[in-house]
Structure 1
Amino acid sequence: MGSTESSEARRVSFGMDEEERVRVLQGIRLSENVVNRMKDPNQPCKAGEPAPPPAPPPSTPSTGGSSKGPEKDSKPPRSEYGGGRQPSGVEEDFLKRYKQEQDKVQDELFQVVTREREAATKHRSASMQRGEGSVDQDKRKSTQLARELESREAELSCRDTFYKEQLGRLERKNAEMYKLSSQQFHEAASKMEGTIKSNPMLMAARCPAGGAE
């Protein structure tokens, strides 16, 4: 389980542990930056970092455990490279500006509501004043309309009386004409009957069948 690479006429052997991390078994020691990059691939590379001095050979397990401490401490925090939490000073400044803007907006809303209430009160007062004058004007208009209505009713009553009188006259005239026509008809019939009776020839001509019998 291993491979061999050549660098500057040096032979270095590498090996993989249980977590598939590369460790130097023989040759040179990797820098802390390289080790940290192996642990965290997202960590940026530091250019121009001087090479660390060669590490002493591990003698006891205690030295191996202590050698891992600087590696963990040398890892920079994520917040310095973005994607982390902002410092508390920036947050306080942001909250302060937010509260100031909120107080400003509330003050403007209060002023707008106050102006609207004042305008509504003025409008209501003006409407009430106009209402008092309009009531008197409405009373005068109502009185005038009542008078006009009474005059119209009187005029219609006069016309109704006139039409009734004219209709009565027409009915009486028609009755007189009918009576006169009937009287004239009866008089003419009586006169014709007397003429016929006084002339026997006309009487015979009137009743030929009766004379033959």
Structure 2
Amino acid sequence: MGSGESTTRKVSFGVDDEDRVRILRGVKLSEDVLQRMRGVANIAPDRTNIHYMYGSRYEQQQKLLKEEWAKMAQREMEAAKEEMAKATSRERQQTRLEAERTKQLVQHLQKKDSQLKALDAFYKEQLAQLEKRKQRYKNDSFFTPSLLFLVFCRPRNTEAVCAGLQAQILSCYRDNKDQTLKCSDLAKEYMQCINAAKKVRAFSIYGYTLVINS
């Protein structure tokens, strides 16, 4: 080394299991150089491991997120199907209720129409009966004053004509003061009996003229 010329020597070295440098051939390196070499040798594997670790964790997280999104989508789809089924069921039930209400309304209107028709027929029948009673009353009003005159105001020197019918008529009028129509048949028979006597007499009472054959 004291000659002033530098010579290049090739050296090789290695490390044992305890990271101790073993000189194979050449000169021994300083401790400082060995420390730097150990640091460089240790850095590269650590960075590789870190990248691998983070890459694996990222992939795992991505996988978990995808699975969670798939589960959420499935739950949302099932909830939507269930809600649609409920809505369809409600709509069908509402349709059935509307149809039932419409049917009941139609039945009610038909029943009401039948009742109105029956009531109309009843009123028409009552009017017809009233008309008949009115006509019978008119007919009876002709016979009543005339017959009463014949019964109570006959000549004293004349023998009573149709005495039996007279008694029946008087009894009928006494028993049916408010329902004189019941005596109308007797009145007709009495008039026929008077006409059969073939004696003519004229009486005027209450504006009526009664001609009796005697």
Task: Indicate whether the TM-score tops 0.5.
Answer: no
Q: Which has the higher contact order (CA 8 A, sep 6+)?
A: 2
TM-score band, normalised by shorter chain: 0.3 to 0.5
* TM-score, L = length of structure 2: 0.35
